[in-house]
Chains A and B, each alone.
Chain A
């Protein structure tokens, strides 16, 4: 079990690039800090499944309340871990493919803002002054420290994007006529979506919530705040997903032993995400009052368009995998799946990617169900919703980020991955765990089980008049899934820290698996971001200006703040 393997034998002969000292240090910090915090996020995930199955029938365990833990789980796993990872991954991709260096002062200031913001938010959450969940719906009010921390994290993550834009423009000038590497296109797409999505969030937090929580303003427009949050909240999903797509397009075919079926399909998918990621947020507000049904339907329609690049991706990836399997001599209509390197510990990224993609088959289909306005009444705010997103952000996104974190830490420290066999268990255990967990949540959701609710005190408590015995078996299945997911994560943490604290064997250097393209066409329309970003902005204006205007001009009443523990207005 302890035999060490070189970090990346897949790519002997692959290009080796050394990162400059600052970038390497910051990337390692951005990868390791959230992985440490993740222990807390995962613990609270496990605890929730136990509360919800009625195994814990209490409002708090070890001094940490259910809703406090739920806030920690959402903020750490979905915001901190993902944002830190993506900034680190972006630096790696730009430096690797464009051979660029970054001004140390900007890199360190981005890191300082992100870390400082995270520590502030963590302090507010752990001290129990921010149990408002990661959606922080006002008029529930948290400590200003929480909002300030969240804002600093987001603003900090913008800085690298501007560094990358400068590096990309310099590269374009120096390499006229060359196609931008697909991975770079993917990362710039990711952060274009991020910038478009986080501007309204920054407005909500900085202009509406921070002054309100400081007592400088007395009330906040709740409908407007919700709309601004979901303006951000859905593209956030693509911010998570797009770096995973970069890995799937650029690395997965190589790991499988083949080629990317079509380079142009990848570029088209990314550009379509720029256009359609943002103007879809109202599909999270189908059940809201104060927003006209016409606007909701328009967003529902646009959400269907954003499914197209994912359909195309599913095809391209399957074609690439089949190409790889046949190149390895596999035959038959379906038997070729068996020829892929499922159990190759030296290509552990393949297992992490594929386990995530298998979950994503369900995540994609349940996502289309969620976007279907008339079906909303069946699933909205029930446990079906977390059942869905643990097969998207908890599936391909989480597993690919986790695998890539380990891969990059091993390469950038020069320390080979320890316990490689145990490491291979992580994605498959996680796949099994999420499959059970999400099945339990989805079925219980269709029976009416709400999400974000401490069921152990009432609905999953035989002593309560609200007891719902029909939900119990499914909540218990969810808990079984949660325990298996936690075991997978335990294995991951053991591998990760054994690697991190292991002995250095080689000089730190990057060698990424990069697939060649099988169809490598060059489409002029896909060479520039500008027309796609312009189309995105125009569509955003059409999709959001009318509803926001109608909310701002028509909203009846703004609200003072409420502490989550009291039905009396915060004085």
Chain B
């Protein structure tokens, strides 16, 4: 082996050693490491637990295509132990401006630790493909802001429907503000004239909303694919959703 080759092999080995030393420093000195096994069993209910002294435990459920809870409000300086469970398929959890970037894999719980030192809204998004609603799967951490005053006017059924709209994943495909999506937006849906895929047309009423929830693709709106699942809903859940959708 000639001299320059020997030099190059040694030099590149030294470069890699230098990089590696930097990694060890990052892991030990700065505490930046990778997720490991935790002894928490998979869960299906999202919750925020106040452990006292600015410490919070967040149980986050990732599912097609929403996070539960979708919105987490914490005071500035909160130290969060985040546990992540996937309910159906593989998802990801990325929280902007933090080092939280973990996978949510069915069958095992992931964990991350993060301190929210600066007030503000941190978008949390799913960064692993999880089906056609993937691009809608996002939530947020709202740090250091007072909770909004409860909306008193909303009826109990409507409020329950609003929760179901997120929990059941409707939100993934149907926007509530007119934005386009996999399915039609539900903004102002009651009384809207719709053209159907078969060329017919109709005016959306309560009966039609109920029918679409029970037998999703029996009547197809023009320009959309027949991909809506028939969700297993109780009668009470169905009525709550209908009441809520009517108010949009």
Extra inter-chain contacts (18) besides given A289-B35, A377-B32, CB under 8 Å: A137-B129, A140-B90, A262-B2, A264-B1, A265-B5, A288-B35, A288-B105, A291-B37, A293-B36, A294-B36, A307-B16, A372-B23, A375-B26, A376-B34, A452-B128, A555-B107, A564-B132, A567-B64
Nearest CB in chain B: distance from A50 CB, A: 15
Contact B38 A380 (CB under 8 A): no
Which among B8, B26, B34, B35 has the greatest number of chain A C-beta atoms within 10 A?
Answer: B34
Contact B111 A289 (CB under 8 A): yes
Query: For residue A58, which residues in chain B have a CB less than 8 angstroms away from its CB?
Result: 180
Q: Is B207 an interface residue (CB 8 A)?
A: no
Contact A453 B129 (CB under 8 A): yes
A372 touches which one: B19, B102, B108, B111 (CB < 8 A)?
B19
Measured in the bound complex, the distance between the Cα atoms of B9 and A307 in whole Å is 11
Measured in the bound complex, the distance between the Cα atoms of B64 and A563 in whole Å is 11
Nearest CB in chain B: distance from A308 CB, A: 6
Q: Is A200 an interface residue (CB 8 A)?
A: no
Measured in the bound complex, the distance between the Cα atoms of B105 and A565 in whole Å is 19
B105 touches which one: A57, A290, A566 (CB < 8 A)?
A290
Q: Is B215 an interface residue (CB 8 A)?
A: no
Q: Is A524 an interface residue (CB 8 A)?
A: no
Nearest CB in chain A: distance from B139 CB, A: 10
Measured in the bound complex, the distance between the Cα atoms of B62 and A176 in whole Å is 62
A465 touches which one: B33, B126, B177 (CB < 8 A)?
B177
Q: Is A458 an interface residue (CB 8 A)?
A: yes
Measured in the bound complex, the distance between the Cα atoms of B64 and A448 in whole Å is 21
Please name the residue on chain B nearest to A59 by beta carbon: B182
Contact A137 B90 (CB under 8 A): yes
Counting from the closest, the 5 A-B pairs by CB-CB distance are A290-B108, A311-B12, A566-B229, A289-B110, A567-B64
Contact indicator per residue, chain A 371-411, by CB within 8 Å of chain B (1) or not (0):
01111111011100000000000000000000000000000
Measured in the bound complex, the distance between the Cα atoms of B181 and A465 in whole Å is 12
Q: Which of A6-14, A29-37, A218-226, A240-248 forms part of the interface with chain B?
A: A218-226
A308 touches which one: B12, B107, B168 (CB < 8 A)?
B12
Query: For residue B230, which residues in chain A have a CB less than 8 angstroms away from its CB?
Result: 568
Contact B105 A223 (CB under 8 A): yes
Query: For residue B231, which residues in chain A have a CB less than 8 angstroms away from its CB?
Result: 567-568
Query: For residue A377, which residues in chain B have a CB less than 8 angstroms away from its CB?
Result: 32, 99-101
Which among B20, B41, B227 has the greatest number of chain A C-beta atoms within 10 A?
Answer: B227
Query: For residue B4, which residues in chain A have a CB less than 8 angstroms away from its CB?
Result: 315, 319
Q: Is A304 an interface residue (CB 8 A)?
A: yes
Q: A315-B8, A464-B179 are in contact. Are A457 and B135 (CB under 8 A)?
A: yes
Please name the residue on chain B nearest to A464 by beta carbon: B179
Nearest CB in chain A: distance from B28 CB, A: 10
Q: Is A65 an interface residue (CB 8 A)?
A: yes
Query: For residue A453, which residues in chain B have a CB less than 8 angstroms away from its CB?
Result: 127, 129, 134-135
Contact B225 A450 (CB under 8 A): no
Please name the residue on chain A nearest to B112 by beta carbon: A377
Q: Is B212 an interface residue (CB 8 A)?
A: no
Q: Is B162 an interface residue (CB 8 A)?
A: no
Contact indicator per residue, chain A 460-483, by CB within 8 Å of chain B (1) or not (0):
010111101000000000000000
